[in-house]
Amino acid sequence: MRAVVQRALSASVTVAGEVVGAIDGPGLVVLLGVTHEDGPEQVAWMARKIWGLRILREEQSASDLGAPVLAVSQFTLYGDARKGRRPTWNAAAPGEVSQPLYEAFCTELEQLGAEVARGAFGADMQVALVNDGPVTLVLDSP
């Protein structure tokens, strides 16, 4: 499982002109990719890791502040563009595997205490955010 985590002042996801998920205060935007070997262990690890990361102002975590999280599924995080000009997506898990794990990740964050806004799995989304800092991390689950 791979995540790009960004500290944000605000963020939203729009699908077909309609906002489907948003955070209006300081929080985190998580772009989440799932690969073939991922399962419940990776979901739990990633949710705990992100919820406890001390990347908000004054070295606080989202859990310290009760900061919201906008979670967006993004299979392109597993794109491979090392050869040629067209990326391959072979490392990304198919939707029937990745969608339940994305949903489980969001649920796990909620069980930890997070307010989670979501993108629309598999949709053509426009993601807007005001990156704070900027702070951006890439996390890979063990």
Q: 76, 107, 111, 126: which one is catalytic?
A: 76
Task: Confirm if 122 and 73 have CB atoms less than 8 A apart.
Answer: yes
Task: Confirm if 2 and 33 have CB atoms less than 8 A apart.
Answer: yes
105 is annotated as an active-site residue: no
For residues 93 and 129, what is the distance between their CA atoms, to the nearest angstrom? 26
CA 4, chain centre distance (Å): 6
76 is annotated as an active-site residue: yes
Q: 35, 75, 88, 99: which one is catalytic?
A: 75
Where would I find the H helices in the chain? 40-52, 62-65, 95-112
Provide CB contacts within 8 A for 26, sequence distance 6+: 7, 8, 9, 56, 57, 65, 67, 132
Q: 6, 35, 42, 74: which one is catalytic?
A: 74
6 is annotated as an active-site residue: no
Instruction: Report, as residue numbers or ranges, the catalytic residues.
Output: 74-76
